[in-house]
Amino acid sequence: MVNGPGREIAVVATARTAVHESFEGPEAVLVMECVNDLLGRTGLDRRDVDFTIAGSCDYLAGAPFAFVLNLDGVGAWPPVYESHVEMDGAWAFHEAWLRLQCGDVDTALVIGSGRSSPGRPREVLALQTDPYTMAPLGLDPVSLAGLQARALIDAGKATERDLAEVAARARPGSGAGELLRAPYWSAPLRRHDVARPADGAAAVLLAAGDRARRLTGDPVWVRGVDQRIESHHLGLRDLTDSPSARLAAEGAGAHDGPLDVAELMALHSHEEIILRAALGLAGTTVVNPSGGALRSHPAMATGLVRVIEVARRIAAGEAERGLAHASSGPCLQHNLVAVLEGDR
Amino acid sequence: MARACAVIGIGQTDYRKRLEVTLDGLVRWAALEALEDAGLTFADIDAVLIGKAPDLLEGVMAPELTLAGALGAVGKPIHRVHTAGSVGAATAISGVTMIQSGRYDRVLVVCYEKQSEGNATWALSGGKSGGQGAGGTFAPWIRDYIRRSGAPEHIGRRVAVKDRLNALRNPHAHLRIQDISEEKVKASPMLWDPLRYLESCPSSDGAAAVVLASGDAARRSRGVPAWVIAHAKRSELASFPGRDPVRPRAGVECAEALYAEAGITDPLRQIDCAELYVPFSWYEPMWLEGHLITPEGEGWRLTDSGATELGGAFPVNPSGGVLSSNPIGASGLVRCLEAARQVRGTAGGHQVDGARVALGHAYGGAAQYFAMWIVGSEPDPAFG
């Protein structure tokens, strides 16, 4: 079974790089920028960090063991206690939160980083599909997202205008009417309905209990984190719903109190509509005030950035309680939810 | 301190070229065997963890997505660890922390590699032809070890023969060379001086799995527990002028942290056997020294004395080790689960008599990632 909350863990500092369409330097430099920022902000020495965990993806760089070079950005000398998930940094955040609950480490550095620019993301991401039956067809996540958006519209759960309104909120200065005149990209999705993978990094410093209170006057407590996956086979799923997001929200305790803000990692406009319903977000919850992943998508950091956006709003006193969501895989196959709360 | 954790189920496939089975079938084989061993089904599992080496080896990106169904993970948490060659042991340790966190009671950990799906040498060379491969990276450091320690040249051959003889007692092992001998190793082609063909690991397909449980869940389980007494991980930079790749500081500090947590003060005496990650023969004496099992310069002497043979005072790789089977992403978990088999007394033909405390170890990258655990037949053994 999944047991209740353990030791109190808080986000004590956050960092993120600018998001580059094409960053010319190595990924380790993006990582280093975040790590130095966090250490500077908290006054910690590298040696004060008990545990480090990063999320990244070899395939974006097109090189095996690409993540090894990111250790240079962590500054792993003297040696560090660390681990790595081949996933978005949001999943590294989940493992770090569990690690801190074991009680023997008090601080954890969580990193997410990625560079999409070296490759052609649609072709690269097609390799996320079943290698025997789907990948040889070149079925990529944007095409699959088009199928999901079509299913949503056919089920009467959304219209093309609803999609355009989601996209318009992510693009200040644009209106739904104008966006609806754009040509299709992967029908019924238009270019602006699809997040554009970019290069960037993000990082979070977590600390437990009193250590968190000593490190910052504005700890943002992580009340729950959960993540769930669905079948890879689209024929086995109701594409107009996201049961895994719902389960993750329940597991994270999302509905134990009102949610002032939610940052959802929707890489396609229609996903925000599915997620709002599956997560049961009330009309009073402000969704994606940052503009979300449609505005900025530093792959493998995008999910962790959702955590950072919510944590920053809570630390600034703009919200008391919030939900951060990350997704992975085609058609929202895998979803993570974290619930954050202020100290006020 | 964190709550107790035990291995209550173990599963593994045979390690060889597995063209008759899909990736899904391969991982499911190991997972189902581990569940059966524990007397459980997928319904009893709270979370799933997978580990493997680079995605480029099979050409499947983010394989937790495609394998979720085969691993009974639908509706559950799953995450994917990747820490180079150490990944199998690192994934096991991530699984232990999930139990120790208090949040989950039973976690399924599955690691695999299916090298026949792709071209591992191409992938390990960064997608370029003519790469130096792992042996090319390690050979200069091995030469430096030989120079520093004064080890005689037959030590590597001795390890190669010892592990291959052990493999003949392990039905899962890939290389089963009936007439293995030091002469045969010496006559095999030189790959990366001083490493010959028969001093190197094979390319294998295979999957391995363990079911981890909290102390309470372990006591309620049918599976015989192997208690996780301690675990440690350390990583260091790959390359800079002050680094010593022959005796990496991360390896030394990892071992120090491990023994301190376990309460071990004399590993050679207090640990009954070890599964060390030895993909090239000379890494046995190097890691005996680099992980403080023997003093510096003494590792090769222990090997030469026969103490590391099955039946010796400190058996190393009774299963046949990585030299006999290397499904890369799984190899570290195989070391950890073989250590667990020893303390459960279920290692079959390669059982070390009376093993109560065993070490499982893996390393990766440019000998810069280290992950280790110590398991025991008792949750809190006293080390006299």
Question: What's the pLDDT at B381?
Answer: 94
Query: Contact A229/B77, CB-based, under 8 Å?
Result: yes
Q: Which residue of B has its CA nearest to A233?
A: B66
Q: Determine the Cα–Cα distance for residues A259 and A284; give it in Å rounded to an integer.
A: 8
Query: Contact A229/B104, CB-based, under 8 Å?
Result: no
Is residue A265 within 8 Å of A291, Cβ to Cβ? Answer: no
B240 contacts on A by Cβ (under 8 Å): 77
Read off the pLDDT of each residue in B202-218 and give the average, rounded to a whole number. 97
Query: Contact B249/A78, CB-based, under 8 Å?
Result: yes
Question: What SS3 class is residue A105?
Answer: coil
Query: Contact A129/B238, CB-based, under 8 Å?
Result: no
Question: What SS3 class is residue B193?
Answer: coil
Reported confidence tier of residue B1, pLDDT bands at 50, 70, 90: very low
Q: Which residue of B has its CA nearest to A2?
A: B104
Q: Residues 6 or more apart from A318 whose CB is under 8 A from it?
A: A261
Q: How many CB pairs under 8 A join A and B?
A: 195
Q: Which residue of A has its CA nearest to B107?
A: A1
Question: What's the pLDDT at A119?
Answer: 92
Backbone angles phi, psi at B175, to 5 degrees: -85, 120
Is residue B142 within 8 Å of B282, Cβ to Cβ? Answer: yes
For chain B, the average pLDDT equals 96
Q: Determine the Cα–Cα distance for residues B213 and A200; give it in Å rounded to an integer.
A: 38
Is residue B88 within 8 Å of B333, Cβ to Cβ? Answer: yes
Q: How far is CA B272 from the centre of its chain?
A: 17
Hey, what are A229's tokens?
A: 């996956």
- pLDDT of residue B171 exceeding 60, the answer is yes
Q: Give B251-254's long-range contacts (Cβ < 8 A, gap of 24+).
A: B251/B287, B251/B290, B251/B291, B251/B363, B251/B367, B251/B370, B252/B290, B252/B291, B252/B292, B253/A78, B253/A79, B254/A79, B254/B291, B254/B370, B254/B371, B254/B372
Q: Determine the Cα–Cα distance for residues A211 and A199; give it in Å rounded to an integer.
A: 33
Query: Contact B64/A87, CB-based, under 8 Å?
Result: yes
Question: What's the pLDDT at B353?
Answer: 97
Q: What is the pTM of this model?
A: 0.98
Read off the pLDDT of each residue in B137-165 and give the average, rounded to a whole number. 97
Hey, what are B194's tokens?
A: 């001083």
Backbone angles phi, psi at A4, to 5 degrees: -70, -175
Reported confidence tier of residue B127, pLDDT bands at 50, 70, 90: low
Q: Determine the Cα–Cα distance for residues B139 and B377; give it in Å rounded to an integer.
A: 37
B253 contacts on A by Cβ (under 8 Å): 78-79
Query: Contact B366/A334, CB-based, under 8 Å?
Result: no
Surface of B (328-357) touching A: CB under 8 A: none
Q: Which residue of B has its CA nearest to A232?
A: B66
Question: What's the pLDDT at A98?
Answer: 97
Residues of chain A below pLDDT 50 = none
Q: Which residue of B has its CA nearest to A76?
A: B236
B47 contacts on A by Cβ (under 8 Å): 2
Question: What's the pLDDT at B129?
Answer: 56
Question: What's the pLDDT at A64?
Answer: 87
Kindly state the percentage of chain B with pLDDT values over 90.
93
Smallest Cβ–Cβ distance between B2 and the set A65, A102, A127 belongs to A102
C-alpha pair distances (Å), A7 with each of A55, A99, A224, A253: 23, 10, 11, 15
Kindly state the percentage of chain B with pLDDT values over 70.
98
Reported confidence tier of residue B123, pLDDT bands at 50, 70, 90: confident
Higher-confidence residue of A335 and B119: namely A335
Query: Contact B94/A3, CB-based, under 8 Å?
Result: no
Question: What SS3 class is residue B305?
Answer: coil
Strands B5-12 and B226-235, bridge-based pairing: antiparallel
Read off the pLDDT of each residue in B221-239 and give the average, rounded to a whole number. 95
Hey, what are B278's tokens?
A: 């030895």
Reported confidence tier of residue B130, pLDDT bands at 50, 70, 90: low
Question: What's the pLDDT at B128?
Answer: 63
| ipTM of the complex, rounded to two decimals | 0.97
Read off the pLDDT of each residue in B16-33 and give the average, rounded to a whole number. 97
Read off the pLDDT of each residue in B365-384 and give the average, rounded to a whole number. 95
B58 vs A: CB within 8 A:
yes
Q: What is the DSSP string of A144-189?
A: HHHHHHHHHHHTTS--HHHHHHHHHHHSTT--HHHHTTSPEEETTE
Read off the pLDDT of each residue in B210-214 and give the average, rounded to a whole number. 98
Reported confidence tier of residue B265, pLDDT bands at 50, 70, 90: very high
Cis peptide upstream of residue A78 (ω within 30 degrees of 0): yes
